[in-house]
Amino acid sequence: MFLRMSAAIAAVSLLGSAALAQGAKPTDPQIAHIAYTAGVLDIAAAKQALTKTGNKEVKAFAEDMVRDHEAVNKQALDLVKKLKVTPEDNDTSRALSKNAADKVAELGRLKGAEFDKAYVANEVAYHKAVDSALETTLIPNSSNAELKSLLQTGLKIFQGHEQHAEHVAASLK
């Protein structure tokens, strides 16, 4: 319970405060970097889950995360190449990566059902945070139409992931 709460709070406050801490609106190269980083981190979390879980639903969920986030990120790479934009590292991306590394270490110490619950709870919190960042910050501030459209597709699919994670979380109770 404590773990679940802390994960949720950490993930949500992180994205919120980091985005705010920047003060100025994020630029397209920064937005692209944040969105891409968020995807990479979720793929890494899923790959960790695939090596640790024995639960069928958790495994299917993690496989979905790898498949969908890799698809979005491939599209994002193609787009930045086409637009000749270089994604730009920034405080939000760095904070996301730091937090995710801590989470991987924390989850790495857990096993079996304990791991499954903590991983899925973090996925719920993570997707909530990412979806909210997309809705309130990243999509409104993106100026390139193609980037905006890709982020909107991302939001739609990640909202599905959030529901899926909630569904798996409920099944693990």
Nearest approach, Cβ of 94 to another protein (angstroms)? 27
171 lies in the site for another protein, by CB under 8 A: no
Buried b (16+ CB within 10 A) or exposed e, 25-41: ebbbbbbbbbbbbbbbb
Question: What is d(CA 38, CA 41) in angstroms, rounded to the nearest whole number?
Answer: 5
Nearer to another protein, 12 or 157 (CB): 157
Nearest approach, Cβ of 98 to another protein (angstroms)? 29
Mask for 46-85, x = binds another protein (CB under 8 A): ------------------x--xx--xx-xx----------
Question: What is d(CA 17, CA 92) in angstroms, rounded to the nearest whole number?
Answer: 9
Judged by CB under 8 A, which of 25, 94, 98, 156 binds another protein?
A: 156
Judged by CB under 8 A, which of 164, 165, 168, 169 binds another protein?
A: 164
Which position has the token pair 């190449």? 81
Nearer to another protein, 64 or 106 (CB): 64
160 lies in the site for another protein, by CB under 8 A: yes
Q: Do 7 and 121 meet the contact criterion of CB atoms below 8 Å apart?
A: yes
Question: What is d(CA 89, CA 7) in angstroms, rounded to the nearest whole number?
Answer: 24
Q: Which amino acid is at 83?
A: L
Nearest approach, Cβ of 74 to another protein (angstroms)? 7
Return all residues near 14 (Cβ < 8 A) that are at least 6 apart: 95, 96, 99, 129
Nearer to another protein, 75 or 97 (CB): 75
Three-state SS string over 99-111 comes to: HHHHHHHHHHCCC
Nearest approach, Cβ of 87 to another protein (angstroms)? 18
| Contacting positions for another protein (CB under 8 A) | 64, 67-68, 71-72, 74-75, 153, 156-157, 160, 163-164
